[in-house]
Structure 1
Amino acid sequence: MVYILGGWQSDFSKNWARQQMDFADAFAEVVGEGLAATGLEPKDIDCGHVGNFVGDLFAGQGLLGGFFGLVHPEFDGMPTARHEAACASGSVAILAATAEIEAGRYDTACVVGLEMMRNVPGQQAAQNLGAAAWTGHEFQDATYLWPRAFSDLGEEYDRRYGLKYEHLMRIAEINFANAKKNPNSQTRSWGFNERSFTADDEANPVVEGMIRKNDCGQVTDGSAVIFLASEARAAEYAAKRGIALESLPQIKGWGHRSSPISYERKIRASAGEPYVFPQVKRAIDDARARAGVADISQLDAVETHDCFTTTEYMAIEHLGLTAPGEAWKAVEAGDIEIGGRLPINPSGGLIGGGHPVGATGVRMALDAFKQVTGQAGDYQVEGAKTVQTLNIGGSTTTTVSLVVGV
């Protein structure tokens, strides 16, 4: 088993460029604060992994594992690596770290996710993020590529099952409301009115197709870190602090599936199938099978990818909360709200909390840790012991799901 010892998240509302912060500053902050939060020292860490998507494009900076050596002299010589899988980069970094621990190579790992995205104009940011699509082959007529792609997903749902925009807006409204309770969320101080969650062109303008402003995850500067340990090292950590090993969360299960990079290829392949994205369903099911989760009722909460409302709409049914095409039933019943049958994104998710791309998977795992240890504060799901994450890269080209529990 691989244990999570703890971690730390930056304030996703900050604009690093305006604060004269660069990658080195952000990296030093997240690792330093993470060590302080867990009571670990640099000498306790055996290896380092970084999740980041497009630091090369936004900041001209690659080779991000090399920043560990700038944080503290003890990290000089420590093996490190960077991992890229678009919006699932952070989760893939976690998978790499867990694999090394399970293989017995190392006993502890520091997994950092970070992305700097607010240092360029919006149109340039959209072009940079387009690297996760099939460049030169799809969505070439779109001004904003990913809103267009997930608008197309909404239209596909409408063709297959029917889709009402009011259900998408309710998803957004729930996530923004949850984010109000999260002291690190990007939108916690945002204000809305009675027209904000409607098809009102002034209060909620169109971005691409059916996707409007409040359907969208945020462009965010942010970082998150978690520290992972083998059972032996976790036992030492627990004994030193006078706590039970069983009180430390474990990554109990994982699922990792990939699909062709082409969105159109995915949609064509699933024609006539019950699920629009069968590889997403497989990743979710794989994680549960490895964790021994036989039924969705054994889950207490989910942190899922909601880069757009249509993404979460898709996730609701792929998670098994409803039958295919019936996600609207869970929305109307309040099943996805805190206090509902299966709270989704109590943190606010990507729409309310923020979406620093490379950090998102790590942030999800950290929020799962907080939930199952009762440390989520005002957005705590009462009695949570088992939380699943669902992190998606590109148009579900990469999907990673984790089950975290005590």
Structure 2
Amino acid sequence: MNAVAVHGVGTSHFGRQPGRDLIALAEDAVREAFADAAVTGVDAVWVGTVFGPAGVAQRVLRALGVTGIPVITVENACASGTTAFLEAHEAVRTGRYGRVLALGLEQMSTAFAGAITPEPTDPEGRSGLALPALYAMAAARYLHLGAVTPEQLAAVSVKNHAHALHNPRAQYSGRYTVDEVLASRMIADPLTVLQCCPTSDGAAAAVLAPAERGSRGVGVRGIALRTGAPWNHRSPHVWGHDVVRDTAADAYAAAGLAAAGDVDLAEVHDAFTIGEIVTTEALGLVPPGDGGKAAAAGVTALGGAHPVNPSGGLLSRGHPLGATGLAQVAEVVWQLRGEAGGRQVEGARLGLVETMGGGVSVLDGNACVVAVLEAP
């Protein structure tokens, strides 16, 4: 079995880009990843996308001259990109292919005017429960239990928008106050518009190959994927907590880590402010019930003990579903190489990526991927 490394990464800009098709977005990401890895081709490609049309993977790759090799498309809700990354990793680890491209892409601005339409075959979907409402229920539960305050929820948005000031590829950035976040337009009580990820278009890519001593390759120390179990009254936690916790335990074991505290930074799935709070607790970065306190106290900010989402996260960088996980991978690779500029986490050696695929289908999350990456 091979030790696997990420030898190159690339992304497009993120934002509403209805005038740029998926081919143009993918070209930005793939060309940058190939140049970063100093390669001109790969042996196979895994592509993650949620709403791309049939044949989208072959269509965009044909335009880039990548043809005649195996191309596999995967869909795992918001974790589609990291699922493609996981499968590419496994293909290299087992020696099935020598060099593999993982690509994620999505154009949301032309697919939806607002929130993603709920799936009518799900009980929740038939009731009209969209994802903002589902996360709002989690936030309301935390507020009811006294596990978070409105100000602590808003602190996540303040932090991530400030981080994005140093990310030229991010969709949004800015210096907001807690009061400004709370006063912004209500989307799903108690979540205001500045606490919700935007509609985004974008692409991201990574080239994986066997690790080479002395190279710039960032090692994949451990990676895991789970689908959520049926979510019901048996769990005391809000939706999404348990699948993140269990997937993280698998990834830590694969990476040989005793605890989450061993990682130097994390890129996590903060589609809504409550999502980051729940996730930091589920990952074990902070104790249960301390996610909101940590955000308000600067623990999860740049310069804090556990920096979370230095890229700006989904809240600010944007959330083009299929591309999100690989955008997180790219950010962690840049961080571990010391190439993140004004958002650099000094001395970072271990970085964590967590992507949790949503969708309300009576499950505690459609899919979750957690990966631990290691500096060259």
Normalised by the size of structure 2, how large is the TM-score? 0.91
Percent identity between matched residues is 29
Q: 2: CA distance between counterparts of 1:343 and 1:192?
A: 19
Aligned runs of 1:11-160 on 2, under 5 Å? 11-13=13-15, 15-17=16-18, 19=19, 21-42=20-41, 45-55=42-52, 61-67=53-59, 69-73=61-65, 75-120=66-111, 122-123=113-114, 126-127=116-117, 130-131=118-119, 135-142=121-128, 145-160=130-145
Q: 2: CA distance between counterparts of 1:269 and 1:347?
A: 36
Matched residue SS, 1:345:
coil
Match of 1:301 in 2: 265
Specify the code of the residue in structure 2 equivalent to 1:78: I
Q: 2: CA distance between counterparts of 1:266 and 1:194?
A: 33
CA contact (8 A) 2:241 2:279 kept: no
Tell me: CA distance 1:54–1:159, structure 2 relative to 1, closer, same or farther (3 Å).
same
Tell me: CA distance 1:171–1:192, structure 2 relative to 1, closer, same or farther (3 Å).
closer
Match of 2:362 in 1: none
Q: 2: CA distance between counterparts of 1:171 and 1:394?
A: 20
CA contact (8 A) 1:8 1:34 kept: yes
Deviations 1:96-143 (A, max 9, x none): 1111111211011111111001124524x521xx34xx744105454x
Pick the aligned partner of 2:234 from 261, 269, 275.
Answer: 269
Tell me: CA distance 1:191–1:120, structure 2 relative to 1, closer, same or farther (3 Å).
farther
Specify the code of the residue in structure 2 equivalent to 1:65: A
Deviations 1:264-303 (A, max 9, x none): x5242313x6997222101112111111121333211000
Q: 2: CA distance between counterparts of 1:332 and 1:120?
A: 35
Pick the aligned partner of 1:292 from 256, 278, 282.
Answer: 256
Tell me: CA distance 1:9–1:281, structure 2 relative to 1, closer, same or farther (3 Å).
same
1:174 aligns with 2:154: no
Aligned runs of 1:300-319 on 2, under 5 Å? 300-319=264-283
Matched residue SS, 1:122:
coil
Matched residue SS, 1:387:
strand
CA contact (8 A) 1:365 1:389 kept: yes
Match of 1:241 in 2: none
Q: 1: CA distance between counterparts of 2:59 and 2:344?
A: 33
Q: 1: CA distance between counterparts of 2:112 and 2:178?
A: 30
Match of 1:183 in 2: 168
Specify the code of the residue in structure 2 equivalent to 1:3: A
CA contact (8 A) 2:23 2:60 kept: no
Pick the aligned partner of 1:256 from 201, 225, 245.
Answer: 225
Deviations 1:124-164 (A, max 9, x none): x521xx34xx744105454x711101001112223445431
1:331 aligns with 2:295: yes
Matched residue SS, 2:352:
strand
CA contact (8 A) 1:330 1:336 kept: yes
CA contact (8 A) 1:252 1:405 kept: yes
206-215 or 160-169, larger mean C-alpha shift: 160-169
Pick the aligned partner of 1:215 from 183, 195, 198.
Answer: 195
Larger Rg: 1
Q: 2: CA distance between counterparts of 1:53 and 1:286?
A: 25
Tell me: CA distance 1:138–1:213, structure 2 relative to 1, closer, same or farther (3 Å).
same
How far apart are 1:194 and its partner, in Å?
6.9
CA contact (8 A) 2:86 2:224 kept: no
How far apart are 1:26 and its partner, in Å?
2.4
Q: 1: CA distance between counterparts of 2:312 and 2:50?
A: 22
Matched residue SS, 1:196:
helix
Tell me: CA distance 1:343–1:371, structure 2 relative to 1, closer, same or farther (3 Å).
same
Q: 2: CA distance between counterparts of 1:373 and 1:205?
A: 39
Large movers: runs of 4+ above 6 Å: 273-276
Name the one with the larger helix percent.
Answer: 1
Match of 1:394 in 2: 358
Q: 2: CA distance between counterparts of 1:286 and 1:53?
A: 25
1:229 aligns with 2:229: no
Specify the code of the residue in structure 2 equivalent to 1:224: A
Tell me: CA distance 1:70–1:171, structure 2 relative to 1, closer, same or farther (3 Å).
same
Specify the code of the residue in structure 1 equivalent to 2:17: W
Matched residue SS, 1:370:
helix
1:196 aligns with 2:187: no
Specify the code of the residue in structure 2 equivalent to 1:95: L
1:7 aligns with 2:9: yes
Q: 2: CA distance between counterparts of 1:191 and 1:343?
A: 18
How far apart are 1:218 and its partner, in Å?
1.5
Tell me: CA distance 1:316–1:94, structure 2 relative to 1, closer, same or farther (3 Å).
same
